[in-house]
Structure 1
Amino acid sequence: ECQCSTAVFQTISMSCANLKSLSLSKCTGLDDFGLHALGQMIQRFRILQKVDLSGCTDFGDDGLLDFFVAGFNFLSEVNLNNCRCVGTSALAGLRTKMPEIRTLSLSNMNMGSTIFEWLSEGCRSLTHLDISSSAELDDAGLARIGRWCRHLVHINASKCLLLTDHGVSGFFKQFYGFLEEADFSGCIQLGSGTAHTLSRHATKLQTIKLNGLSKVDATSLTALWSAARCLQQFEMCSNLSTTTTHRKSSMPHFSDFVLANAILPVETLTQVKFVGAFQITDVGACVLARACVLLTAVDVSYCNSIGDAFLFELAAHAVHLKSFVGTGCILITSEGAKALSTGVCRDALELLEVN
């Protein structure tokens, strides 16, 4: 976060011959002329690969388009998160084939659905894509990305409210790669169909985030957990700030049934987050603690049916546990907290929160 004049970027473009990575997040003063200067630097030295422009608000469509045209053969990582000062036309440069680009972040931008067509045409070597909070991303756009961006290992499509189960199914229909991380948190129209689709393509999935998805039933979650043999991190939480009425109807249906019937990823699972999962009790939680001994972080905040028994099991088995958060768990007492703090994880434990 800084304030610079155009002269600064002109100086950088003339003198920094070995610059490979440049972070200008929330930089005030980076206008179209500044981006033009940076584009000239890329063409002059052909070294710059990674650029972070997230949160910048002073440049416009023309400047960003010039920058993409200048760097399409060299850029490998571009972050434009929260750059709401530009529109869809500014990203037309993505339509040009960009053979080196691997990471692209376009979260919370003011762009239309056309961008996802352009992205699938020019950025087919992507491995990491963040298109979260994209108001215009629909099922057709997601399916097109899956068809052409076949090298993806990480996709963040959280808070894309137009997505449905058909979009997730369409994404995988012609996607022949192996995702390692998928985040569909906050896509409130997604249901059990999404979980079933993920379960059929979960061979390499290591991180799954389904926060705020209350339509996913226990049967599909059981199938997903049983199929994800490489699962390391799982999140399925309620967005408590938006559930002031009809709270239980908006909470996740992750339950004892899933933990008792799924084939748990005992050799890989390290982090779980079940905030507001009111159907999990000590019965299911204890199954998790006994089976997944590699857990390092557990968050069961506002799971009101979880008590000391879960902490006793963690104290006996979770030797690597670094963080436990049980905020709002009214059945957890000082006895459980004491047992955890003196258990097998006492040397590893860094955070214990049970207020």
Structure 2
Amino acid sequence: MLNREAAVRILAYLDIADLARCSQVCRNWKMLTQSSMLWAKLDLHRTNKVLSDRLAMRFIQRARPFLQHLNLRQCSRIGRLTFLGISSCKNLQDLNLSECPSVDDESIKIITGGCLILLYLNLSHTSVTNHSFRHLARHCHFLQFLSVAYSRQFSDRAFGYLANGRGCRKLTHLDISGCTQLTPVGFDAIADAFRDLEILVMDDINNLSDKHMHNLCKRMTHLKQISMWSSARRLSGYAFRQMTSLTKLTTVKFDSNKLITDEHLRLICRSCSEICHLSIPDCISVTDMCMKHIGTLKHLRVLNVADCLLISDTGIKFLTEGACQY
């Protein structure tokens, strides 16, 4: 017979549906399924097709005293009852509402009014507008991770609310991928609001320009990771020269830029010597000489230069002769 701790650890591998079935086996199993360890993390994404608003509320109310992590991704049938249930979870730290069509300004108002210690909030692919950012600025003082990727109902003014409010000052990770509605004014507000940001993801912003990048690079000097997949096509040498002010960078990802040259990479490698991950595929203007500059990066562990057609075996030799071979 397994001891209680071992049995609970085994049950922790089950999803919510299987856990409910186990609770019906016998009295002992029901007691095991009521362990606080099993209700600290609630993943309802796997049941998103059958999960109703009332059923979600019942699960959340059951887990309420212990709940710290809640995943409702793609749960299309949840509504006001669920959001009221979430707001009563005072210990909730991690909330994923990605791709929930019912998430709007009113639901964010309800949730943020009750969940005051949120650290992680995923609002990607939702209908939040500027008003939701007002609620974040008012209540989310401890938020560290925020994703509004592919949410296109808010404007530049949204980040102005965060810059002027008291909330989100501890943010270290921001994902604005696909938010093509943001102009350089919005990027200026981001730079003002999150001076201590460490990770910035802005993939699939096909209108990203040098103006967008100017104040980001000038003010966000604590950035360690920057991702611009399918966003860097319009950036010129000016933007890459501005990136040299981001001296704490460890991860740089972008692709398909025709204007970055060996000289730009030399400046980046010289200023950002802590880079350990560099991905620059399909940058057709870089040559073997850039590999000599990349070879000076002592901490480099990941390098992606796929489809950089002017890099040959000579460039690989330059790389292996550099400091990064250690």
Same fold (TM over 0.5): yes
One-letter code of the match for 2:47?
C
TM-score by length of structure 2 reads 0.76
Residue 93 (str. 1) matches residue 117 (str. 2): no
Residue 116 (str. 1) matches residue 133 (str. 2): yes
Residue matched to 2:212: 194
Distance 1:233 1:128, change over 3 A: same
Tell me the distance in 2 between the aligned counterparts of 1:91 and 1:108. Answer: 14
One-letter code of the match for 2:146?
L
Q: What's the offset of the Cα at 1:151?
A: 2.4
For the residue of structure 1 that corresponds to 2:252, the secondary structure is: strand
Structure 1 spans left out of the alignment, 5+ residues: 238-274, 349-355
Q: What's the offset of the Cα at 1:81?
A: 1.5
Which of 323, 329, 333 in structure 1 is aligned with 2:308?
A: 329
For the residue of structure 2 that corresponds to 1:96, the secondary structure is: helix
Tell me the distance in 2 between the aligned counterparts of 1:65 and 1:217. Answer: 45
For the residue of structure 1 that corresponds to 2:47, the secondary structure is: coil
Matches within 5 A, 1:127-142: 127-142=144-159
One-letter code of the match for 2:67?
L
For the residue of structure 1 that corresponds to 2:42, the secondary structure is: strand
Tell me the distance in 1 between the aligned counterparts of 2:147 and 2:124. Answer: 6
Which of 135, 145, 149 in structure 1 is aligned with 2:162?
A: 145
Q: Deviations 1:252-289 (Å, cap 9, x if unpaired)?
A: xxxxxxxxxxxxxxxxxxxxxxx222223344445555
Q: Which stretch has the larger CA shift, 143-152 or 333-342?
A: 333-342
State how many pairs are aligned.
302
Tell me the distance in 1 between the aligned counterparts of 2:236 and 2:270. Answer: 24
Tell me the distance in 1 between the aligned counterparts of 2:69 and 2:277. Answer: 31
Q: Deviations 1:91-148 (Å, cap 9, x if unpaired)?
A: 3423415321111111012444433333333323312111111110201112112322
Q: What's the offset of the Cα at 1:299?
A: 2.3
Q: Which stretch has the larger CA shift, 101-110 or 83-92?
A: 83-92
Which of 2, 20, 25 in structure 1 is aligned with 2:40?
A: 20
One-letter code of the match for 1:151?
K
Q: What's the offset of the Cα at 1:324?
A: 2.6
Matches within 5 A, 1:277-316: 277-286=257-266, 288=268, 294-312=274-292, 314=294
Q: What's the offset of the Cα at 1:39?
A: 2.4
For the residue of structure 2 that corresponds to 1:36, the secondary structure is: helix
Structure 2 spans left out of the alignment, 5+ residues: 1-13, 25-29
Tell me the distance in 2 between the aligned counterparts of 1:216 and 1:30. Answer: 45
One-letter code of the match for 2:187?
V
For the residue of structure 2 that corresponds to 1:155, the secondary structure is: strand
Residue 41 (str. 1) matches residue 62 (str. 2): yes
Residue 207 (str. 1) matches residue 186 (str. 2): no
Q: Deviations 1:160-188 (Å, cap 9, x if unpaired)?
A: 12211112223455x37522222334344
Tell me the distance in 2 between the aligned counterparts of 1:324 and 1:303. Answer: 13
Matches within 5 A, 1:203-352: 203-211=221-229, 212-213=231-232, 216-226=235-245, 228-235=246-253, 237=254, 275-286=255-266, 288=268, 294-312=274-292, 314=294, 317-337=296-316, 340=319, 345=324
Residue matched to 1:102: 119
Distance 1:338 1:95, change over 3 A: closer
One-letter code of the match for 2:177?
S
Q: What's the offset of the Cα at 1:337?
A: 4.0
The answer (yes or no) to whether the contact 2:233–2:258 under 8 Å persists in 1 is no
Residue 32 (str. 1) matches residue 78 (str. 2): no
Tell me the distance in 2 between the aligned counterparts of 1:30 and 1:51. Answer: 14
Distance 1:6 1:312, change over 3 A: closer
For the residue of structure 1 that corresponds to 2:17, the secondary structure is: coil
Q: For the aligned residues, what is the CA RMSD?
A: 3.5
Tell me the distance in 2 between the aligned counterparts of 1:60 and 1:276. Answer: 40
The answer (yes or no) to whether the contact 2:123–2:149 under 8 Å persists in 1 is yes
TM-score by length of structure 1 reads 0.70
The answer (yes or no) to whether the contact 1:35–1:66 under 8 Å persists in 2 is no
One-letter code of the match for 2:135?
W
Tell me the distance in 2 between the aligned counterparts of 1:295 and 1:123. Answer: 32
Distance 1:215 1:330, change over 3 A: closer
One-letter code of the match for 1:106?
L
